[in-house]
Amino acid sequence: MVSERLLHTRYRYLVVLTMLVLFTAAGFLLAKRDFLAASVLFLTGLLTVIVMLRIYSGANQAVAYFFNALRNQDTTHQFPVTPENRSLSQLYESMNLLNKYFQDIRIQNEYNEKYYRTLIRHSATGMLVLNSDNEVELINKMACQYAGISSETTNPNLLRIRNQSFYEAVCNLRPGTDLTYKHILGNDYQVLSFRASMLRKNDRVVKLVSIQDIRHELESKELESYRKLISVMTHEIMNLMSPLTSVSKVLYSLYFNNQKAISLKDMDEHILKTTLNGLQVIEEQGSGLLNFVDNYRKISKLPQPDIQAIELAEWMEQLRIVYAEKMEQQQISLEMTHDRNISRIWADKKLLNQVMINLLNNAMDAVIENEGDRKIEVEVFTLHSQRLRIKVSNNGPHIPPELQEKIFVPFFTTKQNGSGIGLSISQEIMKLHKGSLMVVSARGGDTSFILEI
């Protein structure tokens, strides 16, 4: 290939040199007044120039046509490769090879697009693509099924026409966020989870929305929560009722002998004293049962939060004042810090205080078991998602994983005198704030309760 290029280069130099010799010779003969010979040489040189210009003009036109064809995505044209003009043939052959390369890329891209479109269309997850004008460019079968439209439709506006609320929910969904969409489709009740992400397609940006039916998952979690709640409630009620049954049997045996009620003359001080003690037990257990029911009502009837701005520094100082003396008496170190960029938090102050008091009291109960350092820390900071976090940490004993799953279940407690509703109420309060409460506890590390608003 190198020797061939060298040969073509020499050929071009030879042509140019020949034209220079012809024009020089024509000028020399013209000076000698040999007009006929000079004219022949001059015309020969001029003809050589015209041929060269046509060759290079044809090459330029071919190159310009080639790039215009590529710009219009036309890769079907083939340039003639002939042995008569080796220089142009080499150029045409290179352009044909490049044309074939782009043709292969285009075919591969079309294949990939068809492949991924088919993959998306038959995916078990609902998917649809919206352009910047909120027009549906692609919607798969599962998304059509969720939206209640025909999966065979080719009309991109059918979703907007047939299911306006579904369409608006998808359009209003912000990238990187989740949305739970509930609706009734015919006789079917659906709970759908929408999630959006932005994708760049050539010079355009499109929104890809994935859709999943989470009703069965929610129902399973809800059922599991009910099972845990019923299990704990049954356990507590049985604990409260068991002494009542025992006492009633004892009292029955005192006043009945051989299936007959005893007479007044058989009454003595022992029977009266036992009766009084038995009634006291009944009263105490009855009060416990009423208290249990009252606690249940506290969980089920929490008020809706009155969201207002809370000055963060002032609020944290109030918490410090409430707990400073109590923790000092128990030799507990309390550290409270917050991000200086945060001046306010938005919440119901009374309900938030209720959560914090419960968490701080639990933290004090946990660290009191430590023989060495006793430390509680409260941190307030923001996440990348701009959500605010309040972390209450302590260096008390870690909570085993099996208990971490149960501590938020109403009436479950590991304390001897605990009611088991503090953390349940706290978590419910955070849910009312559109937030969450979770626990992180690892062996050898701190235990942290994290509030997210």
Distances (CA, A) of 408 to 400, 439, 449: 14, 10, 12
| Residues spanned by the domain of 174 | 123-213
105 shares a domain with 8: yes
Residue 62 belongs to what H/E stretch? helix 35-71
Q: What is the CATH number of the domain that holds 140?
A: 3.30.450.20
Structure tokens at 349: 């102050």
305: how many CB neighbours lie within 10 A of its CB?
18
235 shares a domain with 312: no
pLDDT digits (tens), the chain, 453 positions: 434 444 445 545 556 666 666 667 667 666 766 667 767 767 776 676 666 656 655 566 666 666 777 677 676 767 666 655 565 667 677 777 877 877 777 777 777 777 666 666 667 788 888 888 888 888 888 888 888 888 777 676 788 878 888 888 888 888 877 787 876 665 556 778 888 888 877 778 888 888 888 776 765 665 566 566 666 667 667 766 767 777 787 777 878 777 777 777 777 888 788 888 878 877 877 776 776 666 666 656 677 888 999 999 999 988 888 888 888 889 999 999 998 888 999 998 888 988 898 899 899 988 988 888 899 999 998 876 567 889 999 998 888 877 877 787 766 676 666 666 778 888 888 888 888 888 888 777 788 998 988
Per the domain annotation, does 118 fall within a domain? no
129 shares a domain with 201: yes
133 shares a domain with 250: no
Per the domain annotation, does 193 fall within a domain? yes
State how many domains the chain has: 4
Compute φ and ψ for 22, nearest 5 degrees.
-60, -50
Last residue of a domain, one of 188, 213, 238: 213
Q: What is the CATH number of the domain that holds 426?
A: 3.30.565.10
How confident is the model at residue 301, as a pLDDT? 66
Q: Do 99 and 75 meet the contact criterion of CB atoms below 8 Å apart?
A: yes
Compute φ and ψ for 339, nearest 5 degrees.
-65, 125
- Report the candidate in 361, 375, 347, 378 with the shortest Cα–Cα distance to residue 418: 361
Name residue 61's amino acid.
Q
Last residue of a domain, one of 213, 246, 265: 213
How confident is the model at residue 96, as a pLDDT? 77
Q: Which residues does 314 contact at the CB level (< 8 Å), separation at least 6?
A: none
159 shares a domain with 102: no
Distances (CA, A) of 85 to 1, 16, 50, 55, 408: 16, 17, 15, 9, 87
